[in-house]
Amino acid sequence: MSEQDVITGPVRTPRNLAAHVAGSIHDDATASALGFRGGTVAGSVHMDQFPPLLLDAFGPRWFETGCLSLYFRTATTDGEPVLALIERPPADGSDAQVRAWATTPEGALVAEGTAAAGSPQAESALRGRELRPVDPAELRILKALRPGDPIGDCQVVVNGDRQRSAISAGAMTEPLDWYTGSSPWGGPVAAPSTVVHLLYSDLLAGLRDSMGQHVGLFGAIEIRFRSGPVFLGAAYRVTGAVTALSQTPKTEVLWFDSRARDGSGTVVAEMRMMLRQMKQSSPLYQD
């Protein structure tokens, strides 16, 4: 593949925005005890590095019907340099899906997957992935869940203050003007990390008691706009369901799908997420 076939972003230094959350994978002490080099940068933060490339590839319609689907390979710590890359799509403006990935300058693969706009025929990186489901009876942290279980139904107002605060603090790698001011659609729109927060944070509140004490981390995230963009300050109905349950020697794995509908019931955005629960962090595995 030639350099002309790849859109390469500048080297950026993503920040660990949750380093202050004690007991989380973003906390240096907790992460180090679990074998990581330090508190990790959230995968959703890495997604914020892609929009300039996606706009180059697909134009503003990426925020309307676009998709970014990433599986995270290497955890980075606060301020470690990362660059984002995507293949250049055909120049005819047709619906297309291309490879997307992020690396360190030394070549370590941070994330890999696909980016798209419109409705290409190919499945996205995560939609086409084998989820390797297991019998829930084999699990401990996720034992109360079953594929198909609903996991929330809530009204959520997109937290514009959270996004603006990250930008004003210089903690967003690619702060588009559209994130704080006017956009082609009117008001300010949500960055990928804000879309993830909308489709994840409040939704899982009801699960946390059943899962018990443990440390989790993002393993894979796909966001897809169906009738975007997502607007700051707007209210959406967010629902979700368990897609699959799996495990590795070190983790229990929850795959779930969620979606946000506007006041008319139109699906505006969707997400597929894989969450890893670290077995070593749970009292259920202290035997």
pLDDT tens per residue across span 196-224: 999 998 988 888 888 889 999 999 999 99
Alpha-carbon span 198 to 191, nearest angstrom: 11
Alpha-carbon span 211 to 100, nearest angstrom: 33
- Residue 76: pLDDT band with limits 50, 70, 90: very high
Measured on CA atoms in the order 49, 63, 3, 87, is the torsion positive or negative? positive
The first and second tokens of residue 108, run together, are: 């370590």
At 209 the pLDDT is 80
Q: Residue written as tokens 């035997």?
A: 287
- Residue 190: pLDDT band with limits 50, 70, 90: very high
Domains of the chain: 3-119+133-285 (3.10.129.10)
Angle at 130 between CA 228 and CA 251, to 5 degrees: 95
Alpha-carbon span 212 to 61, nearest angstrom: 41
At 6 the pLDDT is 97
Mean pLDDT of 82-109: 95
At 127 the pLDDT is 96
Alpha-carbon span 237 to 223, nearest angstrom: 16
Mean pLDDT of 129-158: 94
What would you report as the CA-atom Rg of the chain, rounded to the nearest whole angstrom?
Answer: 18
At 243 the pLDDT is 97
At 162 the pLDDT is 93
Mean pLDDT of 61-77: 97
At 210 the pLDDT is 84
At 2 the pLDDT is 61
At 125 the pLDDT is 98
* CA 130 from centroid of its chain's CA atoms: 18
At 1 the pLDDT is 57
- Residue 52 makes CB contacts below 8 A (sequence gap 6+) with 9, 174, 176
Alpha-carbon span 33 to 17, nearest angstrom: 20
Alpha-carbon span 252 to 270, nearest angstrom: 23
Alpha-carbon span 275 to 201, nearest angstrom: 12
Does residue 86 surpass a pLDDT of 70? yes
pLDDT tens for each residue of 11-65 = 999 999 888 889 899 999 999 999 999 999 999 999 999 999 999 999 999 999 9
Mean pLDDT of 123-139: 94
At 4 the pLDDT is 76
Q: Are 181 and 129 in contact (CB under 8 A)?
A: no
At 93 the pLDDT is 82
Q: Are 161 and 2 in contact (CB under 8 A)?
A: no
Alpha-carbon span 29 to 167, nearest angstrom: 27
